[in-house]
Structure 1
Amino acid sequence: MARKSLIQREKKREKLKEKYHLIRRSSKEQIKNASSLTEKWEIRAKLESLPRDSASIRIHRRCFLTGRPRANYRDFGLSGRILREMFHACLLPGATRSSW
């Protein structure tokens, strides 16, 4: 189980991303359409003044059940360990466990 403070930090980043998403997107469009270099710098400075955690690249996927940050499968939202346990317990329909 991940520390609760780390999970809460990720939730805070999600909220910031949603809050500043439109501002970031419009600023990037303005940079593409800017004609002069100084105009691009001004827009870039505005973009850099936004909170760092509002960038979508800073969000890390975590396991839905345990909060584990590594070995996550996007299709299920679970870590590999939990996914394997669910396969063995036949909780995921259509999934077959491998054994050799």
Structure 2
Amino acid sequence: MATDAVIARNRKRQRLVAKYAAKREALKKAGDYESLQKLPRNSNPVRVRNRCSMTGRGRGVYRHFMLCRNMLRQLALEGKIPGLRKSSW
């Protein structure tokens, strides 16, 4: 499980991306790259990491569910994700 500080840092980045999204888009359309550079670094969407909403794991995350592969498997086997079940043939 990721540390609380790593999870908090990622959430802070998500808030900054949402806050500056409109301004960033306007500056890009205007071609004002000098002003774009003056925005906070963490307001760039590239710096946000997709993390598991339950464990904070940063790798093996399914975007549709926002769960890592381990939690997705566990919840699917418990039947807690509607319409998802283990395949067999």
TM over 0.5: yes
Q: Partner of 1:91: helix, strand, or coil?
A: coil
Percent identity for Structure 1 against Structure 2: 38
Structure 1 unaligned residues grouped into runs of 5+: 32-42
Matched, 1:63 2:63: no
Per the alignment, residue 17 of structure 1 pairs with 17
Deviation of 1:11 (Å): 0.9
Per the alignment, residue 2 of structure 2 pairs with 2
Distance 2:72 2:9 in 1: 24
Return the TM-score normalized by structure 1: 0.82
Letter in 1 for 2:54: L
Deviations 1:50-83 (A, max 9, x none): 1111001111110010010111111111000000
Q: In the TM superposition, what are the counterparts of 1:71-90 in structure 2 within 5 Å?
A: 71-90=60-79
Q: Among 44, 68, 74, which residue is 2:33 paired with?
A: 44
Distance 1:19 1:92 in 2: 32
Structure with max Cα Rg:
1
> How many residues of Structure 1 are paired with residues of Structure 2 in the alignment?
89
Structure 2 unaligned residues grouped into runs of 5+: none
Letter in 1 for 2:13: R
Matched, 1:53 2:42: yes
Deviations 1:4-46 (A, max 9, x none): 0000001110111112111110001101xxxxxxxxxxx2111
Deviation of 1:99 (Å): 5.3
